[in-house]
Structure 1
Amino acid sequence: MNKTLISLLLTGALAFGASAPAIADIEHAVQASTQYTDLVTKREVVDKLLNDAVSAFKSPARVSHAGFTAKMPSNMEIVTDRLLQAYQLEPYRTDLLISAANAQIYNKNVDRAIELFEQALSVAPDDIDLHAYLAVWQKFNGNQAESQKHRQALAKLNAGKAQDLTRIFQTIDRVVATPLKEKVDKGALGENGAIVTLGYALNPDGSMHSILIERLETTLKLAQANPKALIVLTGGVPQNHKTEGKLMADWLVAKGVSADRIIEENYATSTVGNALFSSYALARHKVQHATIISSASHVRRGQVLFEIASWQTGPSGITFDTLAYPDKPLKELKQISKGELLGIYRDALRTYGMWSYRSYPLESR
C-alpha cells in the first residue's frame, strides 16, 4: 500500500462527508494493513547509497607514503560501487558517473575511469569538465590522438579553459624533465625569496615522523645559507592536538632560526591545500622566487601545484624550484614513476579548481 493510495482513500472519505475522526481511522487502518516497515522512496535509497560512499571515503581517513596522500584502494571500490548503484536509480545524475570515475583515478585504474568519463560524455557531449578530464587521462595513458581530440573540443566550447589545460601540460612536462637536486646553494634565493617546506603526517602521539625531521634538516641548511629568506611551513593534519606547521616552527626556532622569518600554515590537509593556502602568504610578501622542500619522491608534485596555485594568487612572475630530501637515491627517481605522475596530474586538476567528487554529501576537491 503506498502514499498515493492513502491520499485517494482520504479524498474519497471527504467526498462522502466523513468526519475528521473517520478520516483518521481510515489512515490508521490503511497503515496498519501494510506489510512494509517503512515506505521507502527512491530519493531515500540514493541518499543512503551516497552516505555509504561517504563512510567508505572517510574510513580509514588517510594513508601516507613519502608525502603521497591517498585513500585506501578497497575503499575506492566501495565508493565507486555505491555511486554507480545510485546512478542506476537516477540516470540523469551525470555527476555520479564523474565522481565514480575520479574514485577510480584514486584507485589508479585509469582505464576504468576513462570508460566512466566517456559514458558521462555520451549523456552530456558538450560538458567542459568531461572533455578536460578525458584530455588529461588519455594523455596520461599515452593516447595522444584521443587527448588532442578532447582538447580541440574543449577549445571550441571554452577557449580559456583549453589554454589553461595546455599550460598545465607544459608545466608538468617542464617540472618532470628538470633534474632533482639536493645541494643547498648559498644566496640563491635573493632579496625577495622564500623557503616553503611541506609537512608530513605526524605520528599518532603528535610527534614528528623521521621523514618530516629530515625535511626540516634540509630547511635549516637552506635557511642558514639564505638568511633573508622567508620560511613558510605548511601542514595542518592534527594529531594529539598538534599540527605539522606549529611543530616545524618550534623545531626551527629551537635550532636558532628567528621566529620573525617564519610563517606557520596550520590548515592544509593535503599537498593541494599546501599550495592553495601557502600561495597567499607568498603573494602577501611579494615573493619573487620560492624553493619548495619535500621528499624527493614528492617534491615535483609540490612544485607543479604551487605553480598552478600562483596563477590565481600571484605574485605575477613568481618562479619556483625545489630542494629534495633524498628519501630515495635521486638516480632512482630520475625517471618519474607512473604512480607519481598520476598523482601530479590528479592534483594539478584539483589545484586548478576541478572537483574530484561533486555528488553531495560526497563533495571533495
Structure 2
Amino acid sequence: METKSRISLFYPRRTGYRVKNISQQDYLQNYNYQYSYPAVLNRLKKLDNRTSKLKFLDKAIKYNYWHKPAIFTANQKSGKPRSYDNEILINFYKLALKLAPRDKKYLTGLASVYRMDNQIANAAIIWQYLLNQNPKDYHSLLNIALYTQLNQREHAFEKSLHRLNKINPAETEQVKQLLNLIQHVPALKPNYAVDDLSLWDDSRHYIVILGAALTIHGNIKEKLRRRLAAGLKLARLQPKAKIIVSGGQVPQEPHTEASKMIEWLVEHGVKRQRILKEEKSRDTVQNAINSNLILQINDARKVTLVSSDNHIQRAYALFQSANYLQGIDYDLQNYAVHETGPQIQPAVHKIISDMLRVKGYWLLPDIQP
C-alpha cells in the first residue's frame, strides 16, 4: 500500500498556505513534521548556506503566524490561549537574527512579536537600537512614543511628537488624529437594541457583518452564526439597506468566510443582489480597510457594524480610522451580538497597533501588513 507523504497535504500560495480537508489531528501531525520548532531546527541543520536557511525561516514564520489558531485548537496541551502564544515566533526571529544580526526586517519583526506578547520593554530595546542606527527612522521613534511613553511619560511623549513632526509633519498630524479616536474607544458601549437603528432604513445605509473563523472543513461556527442572525434581523427591519459580508480565507479554511456568509443569508431569505461581498480580509484591520473601499465606491452615508460584543470596540475604532484616513464621510453605528462569558476590554496597545496598520505601517514585514 502506497503511503501518502504528509508534505503533500500542503501546497504553497502567494500570501500563505492552504490546507486540504484533513482532521485536526492530521493537521497537528503535519505541523509537527514540518513547521514546529524541533522540525525547523532539524531542517536548518540540513541546509548548507545562510540564504537558504533564512528563506526557510521566512516560510516557517509565515506559516506559524497564519496557522496559529488551527495549531493551538488541535494541540490542547499547549496550555495557552491559542491567539496569544507567540513564543515560537520569537524563537524563529531569534534564529534568523543569529544568521543576519543587523537585518532590519528581522529586528522589526521581533520587536513586533514582543509587542504582541506585551513584552514592551524588550520591544523598546530593539526600537531604540534601530533609532540609534538611523535617527530619522520615523516608525521606530513612533513605536517608542506610543508604546513606552503614551499615558506614562507625558513630557517624553510630547518631545517625541515634536521630533516626529520635524521628520514628517503631515504624517504626524494623522497620527495625532488617530490618537484622538483611541481616547473615545473605552466609552463606546455595545448596542444590543435595534429600535434606534431601525430609523436608518435608507438606500445609502450599509449593514457590515464581520466574519469569523470557519471550521477546518469550511463550516460556519456558532460565533459567526450569531453575527449573521443579528445582521439578518437588522436587514429585515431595514429592507432598503444593503449588506456587506466581510471575511476572507485564512490558510486552514477551504472557503472564504464571505462566501459561506452569503450562502447562509440567502438560505434565510435575503436576496442575493442585496449583498456585497468582501472576501480579501484575513483579520479585522483588513475588514476595515477593504470594507471601507466598498463603502467609498458606493457613496455610503450610514453604516451599521455588526460583530460580537467582545470585538465591537476594536472593530469600531478601526472602521473610524479607515473612514478618516480614506476620506469617507458616513455616520457609524454598531449592533453587537452578546457572547457568553465575561466581556474583555480590548488592550490599548493592540488597538494602537491595529490603527497603525490601517495607516499603512507593517506589523510583521513581508508577512502581515
TM norm structure 1: 0.77
Counterpart Cα distance in 1 of 2:82 and 2:358: 15
Matches within 5 A, 1:173-192: 173-185=183-195, 186-191=197-202, 192=204
Render the CA deviation track for 1:84-133: whole Å, top value 9, x for unaligned.
Answer: 32442xx3x33432222112122222221112111111111111111222
Q: Which moved more, 1:158-167 or 1:145-154?
A: 145-154
Kindly provide the amino acid, as one letter, of the partner of residue 189 in structure 1: W
Pairing partner for 1:63 from 56, 61, 69: 69
C-alpha distance in structure 1 between counterparts of 2:193 and 2:332, whole Å? 16
The aligned residue for residue 117 of structure 1 is 127
Deviation per CA, 1:37-91: give whole Å up to 9, x if none: x997xxx4265235314403412613289xx995741222223313432442xx3
User: Helix, strand or coil: the match of 2:200?
Assistant: coil
Instruction: For residue 139 of structure 1, report the CA deviation from its aligned partner.
Output: 4.6
Q: Partner residue of 1:30?
A: none
Residue 348 of structure 1, CA deviation: 1.0
Note if 1:229 corresponds to 2:235.
Answer: no
**Map of 1:25 onto structure 2:** none
Alignment deviations for residues 134-153 of structure 1 (CA, whole Å, 9 cap, x no partner): 22212567333333222111
Q: How far apart are the structure 2 equivalents of 1:348 and 1:257?
A: 33
Per the TM alignment, residue 221 of structure 1 is displaced from its structure 2 partner at its CA by 1.4
Quote how far apart the aligned CAs of 1:312 are.
Answer: 4.2
State the distance in 2 between where 1:59 and 1:96 align: 15
Matched letter for residue 305 of structure 2: I
Aligned-residue sequence identity (percent) comes to 24
CA distance in 2 between partners of 1:69 and 1:292 (Å):
26
Q: Which residue of 2 aligns with 1:152?
A: 162
- In structure 2, the CA distance between the partners of 1:57 and 1:145, relative to structure 1 (3 Å rule), is farther
1:208-219 paired onto structure 2 within 5 Å: 208-219=220-231
Contact preservation (8 Å) 2:210, 2:246: yes
Match of 1:258 among 254, 259, 271: 271
Return 5+ residue gaps in structure 2 as ranges: 1-45, 73-80
* The one of 314, 323, 336 aligned to 2:345: 336
> Could you tell me how far 1:216 is from its partner in structure 2?
0.8
- Computed over aligned residues only, the root mean square deviation of the Cα atoms, in angstroms, reads 2.8
Paired residues of 1:50 and 1:82 also in contact (CA < 8 A)? no
Q: Secondary structure at the match of 2:270?
A: coil
Q: Which moved more, 1:118-127 or 1:209-218?
A: 118-127
Q: Provide the residue aligned with 2:28 in structure 1.
A: none
Distance in 2 separating the partners of 1:142 and 1:321: 32
Instruction: Summarize the Cα distance change of 1:46–1:140 in structure 2 as closer, same or farther, 3 Å threshold.
Output: farther
Shift of 1:175: 2.6
Q: Does 1:270 align with 2:283?
A: yes
Supply the distance in 1 between the matched residues of 2:346 and 2:254 (Cα, whole angstroms).
35
| Distance (whole Å) between structure 2 residues aligned to residue 84 and residue 150 of structure 1 | 28
The 5 A counterparts of 1:2-151 are 44-45=49-50, 48-49=53-54, 51-59=56-64, 61-63=67-69, 70=83, 72-88=85-101, 91=102, 93-139=103-149, 142-151=152-161
Change (3 A) 1:165 1:312: closer
Q: Aligned partners of 1:213 and 1:104: how far apart in 2?
A: 34
Partner of 1:169: 179
In 2: Cα distance, 1:120 partner to 1:353 partner:
19
Change (3 A) 1:321 1:46: farther
C-alpha separation between the residues in 1 aligned to 2:245 and 2:186? 24
- Does residue 207 of the first structure (1) align with residue 213 of the second (2)? no
1:218-246, CA deviations, whole angstroms, 9 ceiling, x for partnerless residues? 11111122221111001111666322111
Structure 1 residue 328: deviation in Å? Answer: 4.4
- Give unmatched runs, 5+ long, in structure 1: 1-37
TM normalised by structure 2 equals 0.76
Query: Does the CA contact (< 8 Å) of 1:235 and 1:245 recur in 2?
Result: yes
1:337 CA displacement: 4.6
> Is residue 352 of structure 2 the alignment partner of residue 345 of structure 1?
yes
Amino acid at match of 1:273: Q
Match of 1:299 in 2: 312
Contact persistence 1:291–1:320 (CA under 8 A): yes
The equivalent of 1:248 in structure 2 is: 261
| Equivalent of 1:357 in 350, 364, 369 | 364
2:314·2:351 contact (CA, 8 Å) conserved in 1? yes
Larger radius of gyration: 1
Q: Which amino acid aligns with 2:68?
A: R
